[in-house]
């Protein structure tokens, strides 16, 4: 298992680094000529008249042509005449006729049998409401609706220069016929969800390595707390304190001389907490760097991890504090979160410490979202393996499981899946890989340096997509319970992709594989469908996408043992290997002033 090189103090857990492998301007079309003549009031847009239907209304289109008999045409003309008189009566008796001293509204046919009543000028909302009331008081009137201008539901593209690289934020789309870089059948589709969200200010707690300053997070980070109690791992000179800044979690050769670091490896700082915070809440459409999943969310950084991982005791206290519960020796969190993201994990089974805390949080409506882990094992890391935590499996952009993500176990009951970036690991190498998820990072190798951007791979980066979707859902329905939120996520998920040639995931085929609800949870996260459901609308049913393309054929030629008819005997001996902890991953640096991309050092899967 590549996930637990730090096994030796047993309490230490690697980040699901293990698990981290590795406005839009809403284009409102309101206000054109009509609105310009009469600006919208503060309480709503103007109405271009009213649309009215009378009871038992006569259709506008009368039978005509050679098939209509003369008698039919006469009857229709008579009905139209009676309808015209009925309308005149309604207009007069509603006080809208010429005798009122005002110009009568002009009637124009609309719909099958309704009339558009056009007045001299657009109606303010209160005027429209008063006229509607007068018309509805007439017994002949069935309904009245203001003739409003509808706005475009399409969003403009954000102006963040890295957005074109952030395929993981873009709408779900693509087919086998598309080039691989055009296929987005595994993504959550945040760009499609944005117009349905109110982008309300929702708090998301990120339990991680802390936070660094980044211009793309300006104004989006609330006060947090540092729960790392062991000064030897903390790297900030003390134990718990009120400053959750990430001083770096690098491990040096000198560190390894201490028995406390037995089992750890020399590594650079991960800036893992900054990455997760940036994915959720990076400022969007600000002309800088990348976009985030949510434009209103605020991050409470809860530092639980220092050098070489996090203690279970610090994670549990951090989780409880994030949710607003009392923690001994620590002032209460003034910004309690309903959503707690944890992209750290361990390979031990979910124990009572985690489960008790997760149950406490569930009871007060707080959802714990956890990465599944990166050991390509048929069992998620904990706490994704705990009951009622939402475990998140990592998918490829096409929707099949990445070569490294864990799956199975509790994921079937409360989890789901979304893209995590698929690197060149595994028997099928780069043929089915993608370019990773571009998000924020710090560029310092040990201590904090310049703010930058990176391409990332790992289930660490799948989990925050679920957390951000929950934030959008909570914005629409702040009173939703834990179970309503989790059910909504799972019910709105798209079906997992299928394939005639790629095998389903199993303990004998744990690499790149086809997900089922038993292995990767309810389906593929869909942010737009989650918000459609949260709005009380009915979701259209979806059929699974079928993965059958030239790249898959080419991959199978590389490793024909991965055909479903000839599975490998053991997850360790073949199938898709995990690819090792190190691979050809890239940090993508953006000099924030110059907005210039340059390639930096490779990083590992987080």
SS3 551: helix
CB 248, min distance to Ca ion, A: 12
**314 belongs to the binding site for Ca ion (CB under 5 A):** no
Of the pair 288, 389, the CB lying nearest Ca ion is at: 288
Q: In the annotation, is 423 catalytic?
A: no
Q: How many CA atoms within 13 Å lie on the side-chain side of 277?
A: 35
- For residue 407, the SS3 value is coil
Give Cβ neighbours of residue 589 (< 8 Å, ≥ 6 apart).
443, 450, 452, 453, 454, 597, 598, 599, 600
**What does the alpha-carbon distance between residue 20 and residue 604 come to, in Å, rounded to a whole number?**
9
**283 near Ca ion, rule: CB under 5 A:** yes
214-233 footprint of Ca ion as x/- string (CB under 5 A): --x---------x-------
The one catalytic residue among 94, 197, 208, 298: 208
**CA–CA separation, 45 vs 95, rounded Å?**
24
The residue among 193 and 288 lying less far from Ca ion, judged by its C-beta, is 288
Residue 288 engages Ca ion in binding (rule: CB under 5 A) = yes
460 catalytic? Reply is yes
The answer to the question of residue 510 lying near Ca ion (CB under 5 A) is no
Report CA 291 to chain centroid distance, whole Å: 12
Rg of the chain's alpha carbons, rounded to an integer? 29
Q: Where are the alpha helices (DSSP H) in 435-505?
A: 463-476, 482-491
Residue nearest to Ca ion (CB): 226
Residues 235-274 that bind Ca ion (CB under 5 A): 236, 238, 241, 243
Question: 300 has which bridge partners?
Answer: 205
CB of 440 to Ca ion, least distance (A): 9
Site string for Ca ion, 148-177 (x = CB under 5 A): ------------x-----------------
For residue 408, the minimal CB distance to Ca ion (Å) is 36
Binding residues for Ca ion, how many (CB under 5 A)? Answer: 12
405 is catalytic: no
Q: Does 444 bind Ca ion (CB under 5 A)?
A: no
> Rounded CA gap, 87 and 95, in Å?
13
Residue 282 or residue 390: which is nearer to Ca ion going by CB?
Answer: 282
Cβ 245 to Ca ion shortest distance, Å: 6
Q: Which of 511, 494, 591 is nearest to 555 (CA)?
A: 511
Which span sits near Ca ion by CB under 5 A: 48-56, 183-191, 287-295, 464-472?
Answer: 287-295
Shortest reach from residue 305's CB to Ca ion, in Å: 12
Q: Closest CB to Ca ion among 226 and 434?
A: 226
Longest dimension (CA), the chain: 104
Q: Of the candidates 46, 248, 289, 318, which one interacts with Ca ion according to CB under 5 A? A: 289
Q: Is 293 exposed, middle or buried (0-12, 13-18, 19+ CB in 10 A)?
A: buried
CB of 292 to Ca ion, least distance (A): 7
The sheet with strand 141-146 has its strands ordered as: 106-110, 114-118, 50-54, 141-146
> Catalytic one among 343, 347, 439, 460?
460
Instruction: Out of 19, 117, 234, 471, point to the residue binding Ca ion (CB under 5 A).
Output: 234
Please write down the HEC assignment for all residues of 242-254.
CCCECCCCCECHH
Provide the annotated active-site residues. Answer: 208, 272, 460
Give the residues lining the site for Ca ion (CB under 5 A): 160, 216, 226, 234, 236, 238, 241, 243, 283, 286, 288-289
């Amino acid at each position: 298992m590549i996930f637990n090189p730090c096994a030796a103090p047993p309490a230490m857990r690697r980040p699901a680094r293990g698990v981290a492998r590795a406005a839009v301007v809403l284009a409102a079309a309101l206000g054109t000529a009509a609105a310009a003549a009469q600006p919208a009031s503060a309480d709503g847009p103007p109405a271009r008249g009213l649309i009215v239907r009378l009871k038992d209304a006569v259709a506008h289109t009368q039978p005509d042509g050679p098939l209509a008999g003369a008698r039919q045409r006469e009857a229709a003309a008579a009905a139209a005449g009676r309808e015209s008189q009925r309308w005149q009566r309604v207009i007069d008796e509603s006080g809208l006729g010429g005798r009122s001293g005002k110009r009568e509204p002009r009637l124009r046919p609309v719909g099958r049998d309704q009339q558009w009543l056009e007045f001299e000028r657009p109606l303010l909302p209160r005027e429209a409401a008063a006229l509607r009331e007068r018309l509805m008081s007439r017994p002949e009137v069935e309904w009245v609706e203001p003739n409003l201008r509808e706005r475009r539901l399409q969003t403009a593209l954000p102006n963040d220069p890295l957005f074109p690289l952030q395929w993981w934020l873009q709408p779900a789309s693509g087919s086998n016929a598309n080039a691989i870089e055009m296929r987005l059948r595994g993504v959550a589709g945040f760009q499609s969800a944005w117009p349905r969200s109110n982008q309300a200010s929702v708090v998301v707690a990120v339990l991680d390595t802390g936070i660094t300053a980044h211009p793309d997070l300006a104004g989006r980070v609330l006060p947090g707390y540092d729960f790392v109690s062991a000064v030897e791992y903390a790297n900030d000179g003390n134990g718990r304190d009120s400053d959750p800044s990430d001083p770096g979690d690098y491990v040096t050769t000198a560190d390894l001389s201490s028995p406390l670091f037995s089992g750890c490896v020399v590594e650079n700082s991960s800036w893992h907490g900054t990455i997760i915070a940036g994915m959720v809440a990076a400022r969007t459409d600000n002309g800088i760097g990348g976009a985030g999943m949510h434009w209103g969310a605020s991050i409470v950084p809860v530092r639980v991890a220092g050098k070489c991982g996090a203690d279970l005791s610090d994670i549990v206290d951090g989780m409880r504090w994030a949710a607003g519960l009392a923690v001994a020796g620590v002032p209460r969190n003034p910004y309690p979160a309903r959503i707690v993201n944890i992209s750290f994990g361990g390979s031990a089974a979910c124990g009572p410490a985690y489960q008790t805390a997760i149950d406490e949080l569930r009871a007060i409506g707080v959802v714990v979202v956890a990465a599944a882990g990166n050991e390509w094992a048929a069992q998620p890391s904990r706490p994704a393996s705990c009951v009622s935590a939402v475990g998140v499996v990592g998918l490829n952009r096409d929707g099949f499981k990445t070569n490294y993500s864990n799956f199975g176990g509790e994921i079937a009951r409360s989890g789901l899946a979304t893209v995590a970036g698929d690197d060149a690991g595994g028997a099928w190498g780069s043929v089915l890989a993608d370019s990773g998820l571009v998000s924020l990072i710090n560029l310092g190798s040990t201590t904090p340096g310049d703010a930058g951007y990176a391409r990332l791979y790992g289930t660490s980066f799948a989990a925050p997509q679920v957390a951000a979707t929950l934030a959008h859902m909570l914005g629409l329905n702040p009173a939703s319970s834990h179970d309503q939120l989790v059910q909504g996520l799972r019910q709105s998920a798209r079906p997992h992709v299928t394939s005639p040639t790629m095998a389903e995931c199993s303990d004998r085929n744990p690499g790149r594989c086809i997900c089922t609800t038993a292995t990767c949870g309810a389906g593929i996260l869909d942010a737009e469908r989650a918000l459609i459901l949260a709005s009380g609308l009915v979701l259209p049913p979806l059929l699974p996408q079928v993965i059958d393309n030239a790249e898959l054929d080419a991959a199978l030629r590389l490793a024909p043992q991965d055909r479903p008819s000839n599975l490998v005997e053991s997850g360790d001996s073949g199938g898709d290997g995990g690819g090792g902890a190190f691979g050809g991953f890239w940090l993508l640096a953006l000099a924030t002033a110059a907005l210039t991309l340059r390639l930096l050092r490779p990083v590992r899967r987080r």
